[in-house]
Homo-oligomer: A and B are copies of this chain.
Amino acid sequence: MSNCKVTFYPMNKEIEIPVGTTLKKAMDIAELDFDFPCGGRGRCGKCRVQIQQGSVPPSNTDYDHLDEEEIEAGFRLACTINVDDDLVVKIPLTGTEGHKILVDAAEREMELKPHLSKTYRDMPRPSIEDQQPDWNRLRNALSDGKSERNYRISHSALQALPVVLREKKFTCTAVVSGNEVVGIEAGDTTEKLLGMAFDIGTTTVVGYLMDLRTGEQLAVASTMNPQTKYGADVISRITYVSQEADGLQKLQEIIIEAINKLIGKAVKDAGCVRDDVYAISVVGNSCMHHLFLGLEPKYIALAPYVPVTGLPQDVDAKALGIQINSAGMVYVLPNIAGFVGADTVSVILATEMDQSSEIKLAIDIGTNGEIVLGTRDRMLSCSAAAGPAFEGAQISCGMRGTVGAIDSVSLGDDITYTTIGGEKSQGICGSGLIDVMAVMLAAGVLDRRGKIRTADEAAGTKAERFAHRLVKHDELNCFLLARAEETAHGKPLFITQKDVREFQLAKGAIAAGVNILIEEYGIEPEDITEVILAGAFGNYLDKHSACAVGLIPSSLEDKVNPVGNAAGTGSKIALLSAREYRRAAYITDFVEYVELSASPNFTEVFAKALYFSGKED
């Protein structure tokens, strides 16, 4: 036997390779997106796969990183395997597939009135007695003999017209946008009218395939934002664009490509084709908005932080390279400011905050926390530069919310925690971080100024029972969150004094933003009737912890309402209703933007917000 067959699950990919090829090489050949964090040197123990069929004797390295039970269950480190047998290999989910991406959110009622509609017409054939030109004939048919609506026709639809009309004996379906016929199809195709609503996040991109006639959601597809390679956050991407000659074009191209792939995936899942898709809507923060449209993002990052546009933009799908029906249109929601983008507008659209008579507060926590406060009479917004702590960066054991991340921490007799996927812990993600801070405060191991007590200091206080967790590591005071034997990588997880400081900066930024808006609005926190937490993160964090650490005013704890991916919901709404899309323009006009850095007492408010205001008991 000179060749072996290797089948990879769950992607169901089968390849043939010569005996003795490494599995790493085989995965390369199969073009799998699989991480070897240590480069395949048997060090990190992260490249675990499960052999489901075929023989792979465990290596010494496997014994170093895996336990008896795991080896028994067929787990091996991919980097150690030389393929000598036909294998069926199960690959654990990685990348986006392992991410929690929130795609469902509380939907709201609205009028279904998409930007495009389809109208079927069966027309009299031309004759010597009726020599109307094709387009005049169709236009008259569309007007139904009533006072003529002033229809126009796109050049490409006009080009298609004579042939399409004669394909099915002058029966046809016109695709109409506003008063323009943008597409023309032979016969009756009114049953096919799909659209896709996108939420382009800095990290992930989600698309919802919608039936524009019924409002029904047919499929969801998501992926990592491929721009991540060029910078994890918006500032580093703007820097990339500024420094590379065709940086803007490059970043636009890859996001368009990603969107095209998502469309392809979604229509396949729903059993239809790209041509059935006539419209997409797009929301994102101002930087994602600019990169998607190929607009210079530089001035977002430079004072006074001005985006190119704060109005909705309709663009031909073709002009952007979006691969949908040739009549397709792209509807891009507007930005409020350089750091309060279309995603925030979309949240307002989804939650109808702008139509509420009661004061509501919306927070979307991320690298920049967008905060909106107000009623239908007045709304304020701001952006708080939280930094990436909530996304796991700059925290010593921080990680994104993927498999193995500690996502919640509780205080009982001891500290307990859960991980995403129930796997052994590898680090801590944002929601876990807020919890552990709250727990540390409650346990008395953290004081109001954010200092971690030493074991000595804890002696004689209620924190005493956690003295064994109060250790020094790299000369820093630390709180031992997970012992080495509890973790996937065999190293303990600490919350260091530096981690606490980073967290304070992050939560302080959000809290300061909230407080400045409250002050600017001239109300007390208690006047707020609902705290809307938008975004995936808001959905996963524990509201009690969030209030305990002072991220949200503690008086509002019972009013916290996580609404999930409201930006995605807003995108769907803007796709399904042209009226709601137009409302987005009013929202951007209506919502006042407060530049925090220009606020006279910003420093004071921010400094105060660094403290843990929660009760220490």
Contact = CB atoms under 8 A, between A and B. Distances in A.
A597 interface: yes
A311 B129 contact: no
Given A155-B313, A319-B155, A161 B308 contact: yes
Nearest to A598: B128
A290 B600 CA distance: 65
A522 interface: no
Interface in A136-172: 136, 139, 152-153, 155, 158-159, 161-163, 166
A311 B128 contact: no
A160 to B, nearest CB: 9
Given A155-B293, A158-B313, A295-B158, A304 B133 contact: no
Given A131-B305, A309-B134, A311-B136, A159 B598 contact: no
B128 A308 contact: no
B335 A299 contact: no
A304 B133 CA distance: 10
A298 B162 CA distance: 9
A299 B155 contact: no
A598 B303 contact: no
A562 interface: no
Interface in A557-609: 593, 595, 597-598
A211 to B, nearest CB: 27
- The residue among A127, A133, A304 with the most chain B CB atoms within 10 A of its own CB is A133
A306 interface: yes
A15 interface: no
A161 B129 CA distance: 52
A188 interface: no
A133 B303 contact: no
B310 A133 contact: yes
Contact of A134 (B155, B159, B303, B307): B307
A131 B130 CA distance: 59
A166 B135 CA distance: 44
A337 interface: yes
Contacts of A166: 299
How many copies of this chain sit in the oligomeric assembly?
2
Nearest to A137: B306
A294 interface: yes
Contact of A598 (B129, B313, B320, B337): B129
Contact of A311 (B131, B139, B309, B320): B139
B131 A337 contact: yes
A159 B128 contact: no
Given A162-B295, A293-B158, A135 B304 contact: no
Interface string A271-314: 00000000000000000000001111011000111111111011
A310 B135 contact: yes
A444 B162 CA distance: 53
A139 B315 CA distance: 18
A338 interface: yes
A126 interface: yes
A293 B316 CA distance: 19
A356 interface: no
A132 to B, nearest CB: 7
Contacts of A316: 155
A216 to B, nearest CB: 30
Nearest to A318: B319
A134 B286 CA distance: 13
A310 B155 contact: no
Interface in A157-207: 158-159, 161-163, 166
A309 B593 contact: no
Contacts of A306: 126, 131-134
7 contacts: A128-B303, A131-B305, A132-B306, A133-B309, A133-B335, A152-B314, A155-B313
Closest 8 CB pairs between A and B? A133-B310, A135-B309, A162-B296, A133-B307, A128-B598, A136-B310, A126-B306, A155-B315
Given A126-B306, A133-B309, A153-B311, 6 more contacts: A131-B306, A131-B593, A135-B308, A153-B313, A158-B309, A162-B296
